[in-house]
């Protein structure tokens, strides 16, 4: 699919180049021979390029198009037009071996070093060629060639090769972790060195400032993957050396990585650094339940009791971050009447929404196949625990859009992971056979069928709706707690 996108992009760019000559009358050459055209002195290079496109796509004369194209390439075999034609050929490979052969031939004929010395636009050609050839090398397990190629690219290009190949290999376990470590290490170090090379700058798309923000964000993502890989290999000391390379915005912003950081400090015996780390993570509002447990234990160890612990945690929070979170929440309040429903509860029995009219109820639509849904579970458990003694608040997890024995899948997963949820099963739609009957009744309100989807209901109305997951259990709890407390305060 990625190869097809590259080809479509190239076709679009070429089409734009050859269709922008409004004053050149292509139809006047409808019946002209290539010899006649090439002997004319009043037809420019660009006009001839446009005639190739005209013959091929409007007149449907492949023979003349190929003949004129060949003449143009022969006239300037190292020029932009020849480069574009050669690039389009590379993208038409049918197999990894074919893509490798074509990609290598292109880079031999049009070395990137020569282009770097005299850029003439067409940067996307090298980006796409590297992406296609790099993926072919990786899939063919030609890792030495993959490394040699990737390390010659700019940050933008090398980052794409890391993201598509190394990250994918880690997440889906396509390559053994020891081998992947040897592949990934030179790349992550090279990305750290190149992050400020300005390769994302693009006129009309990214200013220098925005380009750097994008590069920083991309590097933060790749650092997170590499740190997880090092953790999987028990290379804790090495992992600790990479946190310094996160951007100011990315540092401490991802709860899962923060928890790994805490665990790695414990593994290497740097216990004196754990509390300062946790305090910074609370300020960033990216804390997991395990991190809160550790912070509480450290506080109790130091003070011999938990007096003042809640005030201590509150003092660590960023006022600006909390304000931003509340502004985000305010944008997602609503006031829509929903259709009452009844759903089967895990373990038996039915739960009816009509019984919730004296409560504020949070519902979370999720599925076992949805990674962001699962990632949000620790935060949802924290919310459940927070309001466990408040009879005016309920929290229900509704499994939806699942397949096979969906009841067993949902119940087994929740039980195995140790979550204590009020678990409901969405009903099967009688018309489609899909397990989404209740979820589909809510979709029109937010015009999206994506999950996870959190809703807050009160008095038969949808009062709040949000999609996705921020990656932080503590932020999720703060967001939904703010909504709950706001609704409680209503008269």
Please measure the distance between the N-terminal and C-terminal CA atoms of the chain and give it in whole angstroms. Answer: 54
Over residues 359-385, the pLDDT tens digits come to 999 999 999 999 999 999 999 999 999
pLDDT at 10 (0 to 100): 44
3-state helix, strand, coil in the chain (%, to 5): 60, 10, 30
Do 295 and 343 belong together in one domain? no
Residue 350 pLDDT class (50, 70, 90 cuts): very high
In a domain, 323, yes or no: no
pLDDT at 454 exceeding the cut of 80: yes
Could you give the CA distance from residue 404 to residue 349 in angstroms, rounded to a whole number?
21
Show the CA angle centred on residue 255, arms to residues 366 and 446, nearest 5°. Answer: 35
Do 367 and 439 belong together in one domain? yes
Residue range 311-321: mean pLDDT, rounded: 96
pLDDT at 19 (0 to 100): 43
In a domain, 167, yes or no: no
Range of the domain at 274: 252-317
- The number of distinct structural domains making up the chain is 2
- Helices (DSSP H) in 233-273: which residue ranges? 236-240, 255-268
Nearest in space to 29 (alpha carbons), one of 64, 70, 69: 64
In a domain, 365, yes or no: yes
Do 394 and 295 belong together in one domain? no
Over residues 388-434, the pLDDT tens digits come to 999 999 999 999 999 999 999 999 999 999 999 999 999 999 999 99
pLDDT at 18 (0 to 100): 43
Which domain-ending residue is among 317, 341, 367? 317
Tell whether the torsion through CA atoms of 22, 28, 33 and 38 is positive or negative.
Answer: negative
- Helices (DSSP H) in 91-176: which residue ranges? 96-109, 112-117, 123-139, 143-150, 155-161, 168-171
Residue 13 pLDDT class (50, 70, 90 cuts): very low
Do 338 and 470 belong together in one domain? yes
Do 310 and 448 belong together in one domain? no
pLDDT at 239 (0 to 100): 98
Residue range 110-129: mean pLDDT, rounded: 90
Residue range 164-174: mean pLDDT, rounded: 96
Do 349 and 259 belong together in one domain? no
Q: What are phi and psi of 213, to 5 degrees?
A: -60, -40
Do 359 and 277 belong together in one domain? no
Do 342 and 428 belong together in one domain? yes
Bond prior to 452 in cis (omega within 30° of 0): yes
Do 288 and 377 belong together in one domain? no
Do 305 and 407 belong together in one domain? no
Which domain-ending residue is among 261, 289, 317? 317
pLDDT at 203 (0 to 100): 84
Place of tokens 């039915």: 350
Contacts of residue 361, defined as CB under 8 A and 6 or more positions apart, other chains included, come to: 353, 393, 394, 395, 396, 456, 457, 458
Nearest in space to 107 (alpha carbons), one of 182, 116, 168: 116
In a domain, 388, yes or no: yes
CATH number at residue 431: 3.40.30.10
Over residues 192-223, the pLDDT tens digits come to 999 999 999 988 888 999 999 999 999 999 99
As a whole number, the mean pLDDT across the chain is 93
Do 313 and 337 belong together in one domain? no
Do 420 and 463 belong together in one domain? yes
pLDDT at 3 exceeding the cut of 80: no
């Amino acid at each position: 699919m990625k190869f097809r996108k590259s080809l479509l992009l190239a076709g679009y760019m070429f089409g734009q180049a050859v269709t922008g000559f409004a004053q050149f009358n292509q139809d006047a050459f409808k019946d002209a021979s290539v010899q006649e055209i090439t002997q004319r002195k009043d037809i420019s290079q660009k006009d001839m390029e446009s005639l190739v496109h005209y013959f091929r796509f409007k007149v449907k004369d492949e023979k003349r198009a190929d003949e004129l194209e060949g003449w143009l390439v022969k006239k300037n075999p190292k020029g932009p037009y020849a480069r574009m034609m050669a690039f389009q050929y590379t993208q038409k490979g049918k197999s990894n071996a074919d893509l490798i052969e074509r990609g290598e031939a292109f880079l031999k004929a049009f070395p990137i070093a020569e282009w770097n010395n005299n850029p003439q636009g067409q940067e996307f050609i090298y980006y796409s060629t590297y992406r296609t050839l790099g993926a072919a090398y990786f899939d063919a397990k030609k890792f030495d060639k993959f490394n040699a190629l990737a390390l010659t690219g700019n940050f933008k290009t090398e980052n794409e090769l890391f993201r598509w190949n190394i990250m994918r290999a880690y997440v889906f376990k396509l390559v053994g972790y020891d081998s992947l470590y040897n592949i990934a290490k030179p790349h992550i170090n090279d990305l750290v060195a190149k992050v400020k090379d300005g390769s994302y700058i693009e006129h009309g798309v990214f200013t220098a400032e925005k380009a750097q923000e994008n590069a920083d964000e991309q590097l933060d993502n790749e650092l997170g993957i590499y740190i997880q890989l090092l953790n999987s290999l028990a290379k804790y000391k090495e992992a600790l050396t990479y946190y310094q390379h996160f951007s100011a915005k990315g540092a401490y912003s991802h709860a899962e990585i923060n928890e790994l950081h805490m665990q790695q400090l414990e593994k290497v015996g740097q216990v004196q650094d754990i509390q300062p780390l946790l305090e910074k993570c609370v300020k960033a509002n990216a804390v997991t339940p395990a991190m809160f447990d550790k912070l509480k234990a450290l506080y109790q160890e130091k003070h011999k009791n938990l007096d003042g612990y809640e005030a201590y945690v509150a003092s660590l929070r960023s006022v600006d971050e909390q304000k931003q979170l509340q502004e985000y929440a305010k944008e997602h309040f609503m006031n829509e009447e929903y259709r009452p429903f009844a759903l089967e509860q895990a373990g038996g029995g039915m739960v009816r929404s009509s019984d919730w009219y004296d409560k504020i109820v949070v519902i979370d639509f999720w599925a076992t196949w949805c990674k962001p849904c699962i990632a949000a579970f620790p935060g949802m458990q924290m919310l459940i625990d927070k309001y466990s003694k408040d009879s005016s608040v309920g929290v229900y997890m509704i499994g939806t859009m699942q397949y096979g024995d969906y009841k067993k899948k949902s119940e087994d997963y929740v039980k195995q992971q140790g979550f204590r949820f009020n678990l409901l099963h969405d009903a099967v739609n009688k018309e489609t056979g899909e397990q989404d009957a209740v979820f589909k009744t809510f979709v029109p309100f937010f015009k999206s069928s994506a999950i996870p989807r959190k809703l807050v209901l009160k008095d038969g109305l949808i009062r709040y709706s949000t999609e996705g997951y921020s990656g932080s259990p503590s932020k999720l709890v703060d967001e939904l707690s703010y909504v709950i407390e706001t609704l409680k305060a209503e008269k």
